[in-house]
Structures are given as structure tokens and as C-alpha cells.
């Protein structure tokens, strides 16, 4: 009997960021002449843009698909660029790190379909529709970032997205919802009867864990599997209770406060003791709660649970919301496996990615492309 293949759902933003900082000095020197060649005979097969054209990645939506084959005015820009210089440095750390992690997962596990999920992608300065959590709290994920570093990151991400389209890997984003919500949508809606392996290090996504079905693959020196069983052993609660913990203790990285005075560890203890947030809030005998947490809860009660209500909404996953499905943008490769493999090898050669150009690596990449087209 043939073993059932596992769906690999990738937290694109997290893996991209991790790859960016791990391989931040990785770049490829490419001749302008080669880019010109790339944009003419292969314009319908490949897309490799220059940083100045970062806004060209998302073309006008057609149904629920977005194209990564739009070249815009790249030829004229390359004409201008070639008058000033012969070569261009292309940042490739994100593409390299993501590809390496995905191929390692494919090697180690019985992987079928692969889906990469991204936060809303806005490469332009134009205003877009407000993201759902920003409408709840304008300060959500409001962290200062260096503009120059961010520009390099998005250049690198742009190249990675273009490349993964050549591998026929499905990539998904949304204008309103985050990658977390899209991961929730695929693991609990689209692939609700399948085994799923979620590639992420995000603690918020412990909510996705399902015994014997949804597992996390945490990235590090040695990628490790994190199951619902391991989660329960570590925290003494079930993955379904994790949202209550996040609501109480907040999430510093996302600027979600939770209840002031209740730490993350205290939140875990409280949920472990009282089973749910509802039980804790409606508890008549408050003496069972430790003094410090009791004081924090009383203070929050006087403020009509404003912070708690906000945290509940901000830490919730919205993957099962009807409006999410209609807001999704999904890459779609219309080329054959053979065409995409040729395009992939051409691009790997252009960028001098020698470790992915061995005979064994080419066979693996060819098999991956075939599998993705078959699954689609």
C-alpha cells in the first residue's frame, strides 16, 4: 500500500527573514547582457527583475490568481542600466536559504504538495486596504525597521518568489490577512483530512497543532519535529488552549499586550489550572488565583477587559473566515514540467548556485517540479 504523502505548508515570511539574516552577504554577480537575454527569448518562461522594479511582482488580479511573469518596462530599464555598468549584484540569500530548507524537508519526509504562505505583500508606497489586525490595533507589529535593510530584504524576497514559481510551488498571499491565517486556512480547511507539516518557528502557530495530523517543523541547526504530544508534555495544556494563553500573556514581538501584570509563564499556569480563559474570568472564588495574577485580573476587570478583548482578537487565527478565501492571491504556473525545469536550471546557472547544479540536485529538483504539477 502506497504511503500517504504529507502536505508541506511553509511560513514564507518567517523562513525568508531567517534566510535573509543567515545568508545576508550572499549575492550573485550577473552581467547586464545576460539579464537582457533573459528578458527577451525567455520572457514568457522566466522572471528575474532588478531591484528598481520591485513593484512589478504583483500584476492585476485575474480571478484568484496573480502572475509573476509581468516584466513591465524592464527592457528599457536594462538599456539605461547597461550604459552605466556591465554587471549587477543580485541579493540571493533569501532564495538560497528557503530552497535549501524546503529541499531538506522533501528529502527527510514523504512530501507531496508544497504551499508557501506570505503576509500581505506591498512593494509600493501606494495605500492598500487595511489589514484586519491593524484595524483592531494600529500599533500591531509597529516595529521600527531600517529602510535600507528592508529594501534589500524585499529585493531578495522578490527573487525567491519568482524562482519558486518556476518550481511550480503554490505561493499564497492576501491583502487583509497574515501568513498565520493562510496557514490556518490550508491546515484546517483545504487539507483538513491530510497530514500537514508546517515549517515555522512561530510560537503563535502552536494553535495549528493537531494530534497525528498537523505537526510543526522548527528550523535551526538541526530542524526538529514538534508534535501536539510534545507540546502537551512541555506546557501541560492542549494546542487548542494556546490562544487563551496568548490572550492573557500577550505577544511582545507583535505588540500584543495581553493583561498587564500577567507574564507568559503565569498565563500558562492559569490556563493549566482553570482549563480556559472563560473559566478564569467567571471564577467566583478568586482566592484560588495567586495574589499577583489576581491583582492584575481585578485591575483589568475595572477597565472592562479592554486589553484582554483586544488581545483575544489580535491573537486569534482567521483561517476559517469566509472573507479570507475570496481575498487570497495564488501563484499559478501554466508551463509544463519540462519548461519549468529548464527555466529553473537556467536561473540557477545564471546565479551560480553550484550546490544545486549537481546531477543529484537536478534530479531532485526535477522530481519536485513534477510532484507539484501532479498535486496541482
Distance CA 231, CA 237 (A): 8
Q: What is the largest CA-CA distance in the chain?
A: 78
Residue-range domains of the chain with CATH: 6-233+321-375 (3.40.50.1010), 235-315 (1.10.150.20)
> Could you tell me the CA-to-CA distances from 298 to 147, 165, 269, 273, 282 in Å, in that order?
42, 53, 18, 18, 12
Q: Supply the pLDDT for residue 2.
A: 59
Instruction: Give pLDDT tens digits for 281-335.
Output: 999 888 889 999 999 999 999 999 999 999 999 999 999 999 999 999 888 777 8
Q: Is the pLDDT of residue 70 over 60?
A: no
User: Which has more confidence, 37 or 144?
Assistant: 144
Q: Which of 186-200, 253-267, 288-302 has the highest mean pLDDT?
A: 186-200
Q: Supply the pLDDT for residue 55.
A: 34
Q: Is the pLDDT of residue 48 over 60?
A: no
Q: Tell which residue, 304, 106, 316, has the closest CA to residue 205.
A: 316
Q: Specify burial of residue 293 (Cβ count, 10 A radius: 0-12, 13-18, 19+).
A: buried
Instruction: Give pLDDT tens digits for 202-236.
Output: 999 999 999 999 999 999 878 899 999 999 999 99
Q: Is the pLDDT of residue 177 over 60?
A: yes
Q: Supply the pLDDT for residue 64.
A: 35
Full-model pTM: 0.87
Q: Is the pLDDT of residue 106 over 50?
A: yes
Q: Is the pLDDT of residue 155 over 70?
A: yes
The mean predicted confidence, pLDDT, of the chain is 83
Q: Once rounded to an integer, what is the mean pLDDT over residues 72-82?
A: 53
User: Which of these ranges, 55-69, 141-155, 163-177, has the smallest mean pLDDT?
Assistant: 55-69
Q: Is the pLDDT of residue 122 over 80?
A: no
Q: Supply the pLDDT for residue 30.
A: 79
Amino acid at each position: 500500500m502506497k504511503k500517504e504523502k504529507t502536505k508541506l505548508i511553509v511560513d514564507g515570511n518567517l523562513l525568508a527573514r531567517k534566510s535573509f539574516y543567515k545568508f545576508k552577504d550572499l549575492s550573485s554577480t550577473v552581467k547586464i547582457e545576460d539579464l537582457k537575454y533573459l528578458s527577451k527569448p525567455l520572457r514568457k518562461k522566466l522572471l528575474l527583475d532588478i531591484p528598481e522594479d520591485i513593484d512589478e511582482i504583483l500584476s492585476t488580479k485575474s480571478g484568484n490568481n496573480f502572475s509573476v511573469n509581468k516584466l513591465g518596462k524592464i527592457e528599457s530599464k536594462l538599456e539605461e542600466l547597461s550604459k552605466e555598468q556591465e554587471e549587477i549584484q543580485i541579493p540571493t540569500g533569501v532564495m538560497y536559504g528557503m530552497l535549501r530548507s524546503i529541499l531538506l524537508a522533501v528529502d527527510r519526509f514523504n512530501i507531496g504538495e508544497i504551499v508557501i504562505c506570505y503576509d500581505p505583500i506591498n512593494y509600493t508606497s501606494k495605500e492598500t486596504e487595511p489589514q484586519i489586525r491593524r484595524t483592531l490595533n494600529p500599533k500591531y507589529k509597529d516595529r521600527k525597521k531600517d529602510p535600507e535593510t528592508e529594501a534589500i530584504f524585499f529585493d531578495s524576497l522578490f527573487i525567491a518568489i519568482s524562482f519558486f514559481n518556476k518550481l511550480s510551488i503554490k505561493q499564497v498571499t492576501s491583502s487583509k490577512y497574515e501568513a498565520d491565517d493562510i496557514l490556518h486556512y490550508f491546515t484546517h480547511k483545504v487539507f483538513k483530512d491530510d497530514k500537514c507539516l508546517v515549517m515555522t518557528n512561530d510560537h503563535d502557530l502552536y494553535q495549528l497543532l493537531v494530534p497525528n495530523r498537523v505537526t510543526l517543523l522548527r528550523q535551526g541547526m538541526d530542524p526538529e519535529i514538534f508534535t501536539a504530544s510534545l507540546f502537551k508534555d512541555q506546557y501541560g495544556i492542549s494546542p487548542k488552549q494556546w490562544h487563551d494563553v496568548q490572550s492573557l500573556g500577550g505577544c511582545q514581538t507583535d505588540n500584543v499586550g495581553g493583561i498587564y501584570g500577567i507574564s507568559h509563564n503565569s498565563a500558562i499556569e492559569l490556563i493549566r489550572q482553570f482549563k480556559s480563559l472563560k473559566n478564569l474570568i467567571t471564577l467566583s472564588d478568586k482566592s484560588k488565583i495567586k495574589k499577583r495574577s489576581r491583582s492584575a485580573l481585578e485591575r483589568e476587570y475595572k477597565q472592562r477587559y479592554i486589553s484582554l478583548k483586544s488581545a483575544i482578537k489580535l491573537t486569534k487565527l482567521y483561517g476559517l473566515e469566509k472573507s479570507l478565501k475570496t481575498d487570497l492571491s495564488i501563484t499559478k504556473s501554466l508551463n509544463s514540467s519540462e519548461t519549468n525545469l529548464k527555466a529553473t536550471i537556467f536561473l540557477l546557472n545564471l546565479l551560480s548556485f553550484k550546490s544545486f547544479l549537481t546531477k543529484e540536485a537536478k534530479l531532485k529538483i526535477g522530481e519536485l517540479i513534477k510532484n507539484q504539477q501532479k498535486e496541482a
